[in-house]
Amino acid sequence: QVRNVAVIVGSLRKDSMNRKLALNLAKLAPDGLKLHIAEIGSLPLYNQDDDANPPAPSVAFKKQIQEADAVLFVTPEYNRSVPGVLKNAIDVASRPYGKSAWDGKPGAVISLSPGAIGGFGANHHLRQSLVFLNVPVLQQPEAYIGGGGDLFDEGGNIKKPETQEFLRKFMNAFAAWVEANPAKLK
Ligand code: FNR
């Protein structure tokens, strides 16, 4: 059975290395996982006043999460934490209270940064929210990808075979995690 994975990229930048990574992951994933990017760039800032009548882009994004079998976060680190645009997307799909789209979706986190720490701070701050949102998150392998400035060739493909192999293994582990923790579609 094919599982539909909503990929949330934590950067809006046109040349984002995280977006490139997400596109590579779609190719490295096993046949059982179908990845598609759930875009967050046009989401308005979350405002609790709008809970009864949320803006159309927020409704559309939330629907994509609701309909997904699993969620995969691919994100940079901003100031040792989660980029605001990503936190906003998480908040948008989590409300109104009791109607969160994240509840029970199996998930995984990959952080990618040009630096040596590989976005560890963002990765773990993100996990803090995911615990509250009841997203069972893949524990191992962890994926803190550093040295992002040298990761891709000019065509946007991952240069090093060993990095490709690591990410292939990560996606296989995620596929097994999704099967072991199936989402209840709402
Ligand atoms: C950064 N960057 C960054 N990098 C990092 O490793 N740790 C950090 O805390 C930060 N903080 C930070 C804050 C802000 C506001 C910006 C704009 C950038 C650098 C960041 O990793 C780099 O810009 C990446 O290229 C962002 O990922 P994308 O956009 O290429 O996917």
In-domain check, residue 150: yes
Does 185 reside within a domain?
A: no
Residue whose CB lies within 8 A of the most ligand 1 atoms, among 110, 113, 123, 126, for a mutation test: 113
Q: What is the CATH number of the domain that holds 123?
A: 3.40.50.360
Q: Which residues are near ligand 1 (CB < 6 Å)? A: 11, 13, 16-18, 76-80, 113-115, 119
Tokens 């109104």, located at residue: 96
Angle at alpha carbon of residue 29, lines to 127 and 14, rounded to 5°: 70
How many domains would you assign to the chain?
Answer: 1
Confidence (pTM): 0.98
Determine the distance separating the centroid of ligand 1 and the alpha carbon of 181, expressed in angstroms. Answer: 32
Instruction: List pLDDT tens digits, range 68-120.
Output: 999 999 999 999 999 999 999 999 999 999 999 999 999 999 999 999 999 99
Range of the domain at 40: 3-180
113-151: per-residue pLDDT in tens? 999 999 999 999 999 999 999 999 999 999 999 999 999
Residue 186 inside a domain? The answer is: no
ipTM rounded to 2 decimals: 0.99
